[in-house]
Amino acid sequence: MNDMNLPVPEQDPTASPATPKRWRWITAVVVAVVVGAALGTAVAKATERDVLAERTAALEQREAEVAQRDTDTAQKEDSLSLRSDGLDTRQAELDKISADLGRREQALLPKEQAAARSKITKDGIYLVGKDIEPGTYQTSGGSGCYWQRSSGTSGDFDDILANGNESGQAIVTIAASDVAFTTKRCGSWQRMS
């Protein structure tokens, strides 16, 4: 057989030499996918970096705020400590003054009691030596003033040592031996001696 005699395969007239074109499309799609993936990864990494940078900045800002608050708190604590020390000092001073006033008050108490027993301010029966001190008293005066010195408190006429009905000022000497002194409508009495 002769090479020439070989039949030539028939080509399909509808078949096209598309195989090289098909490879071009496949290559283009693969390249596009690879480029897209690379770009997507780059964008994602850039976005992650931006988010990380924002979070880092926010965290640093919060740390700075906390540090400032700590500083402010420390300053306030120092200020409060100074005030507390000042208040403690002031309290000690006030305690000392209070103790001094208490001693003075105790020293004045007998004098105040004696002064109170040297004045009669209202109507009533007063025990000599307990409610009033013996001595000479003068009244401020009153209309229909009645006074009475007594040797007892039984109410008997025998208990009356002296009495009087006065109009205006009166002066009465109450002896240490008197038991009681009675006053009605005389106003106040003040010890003269």
Tens of pLDDT, residue by residue over 87-111, are 889 999 999 999 999 999 998 888 8
pTM of the complete model beyond 0.75: no
Give the contacts of 147 (CB within 8 A, at least 6 positions apart): 139, 163, 164, 166, 170, 172, 181, 182, 183, 184, 186
pLDDT tens-place string over residues 14-39: 555 556 677 777 887 787 778 777 77
DSSP E strands, 38-141: 119-120, 124-127, 135-139
- On the question of pLDDT at 9 being above 60, the answer is no
Of 145, 107, 151, nearest to 128 (Cα)?
151
Question: Mean pLDDT in the chain?
Answer: 85
Contact 130, 173 (CB under 8 A): no
Considering only the C-alpha atoms of the chain, give the largest distance between any 2 of them, rounded to a whole number of Å.
Answer: 190
pLDDT of amino acid 193 = 78
CB atoms within 10 A of CB 177: 10
Share of the chain above pLDDT 70, in %: 90
pLDDT of amino acid 163 = 95
Of 103, 107, 135, 106, nearest to 119 (Cα)?
135
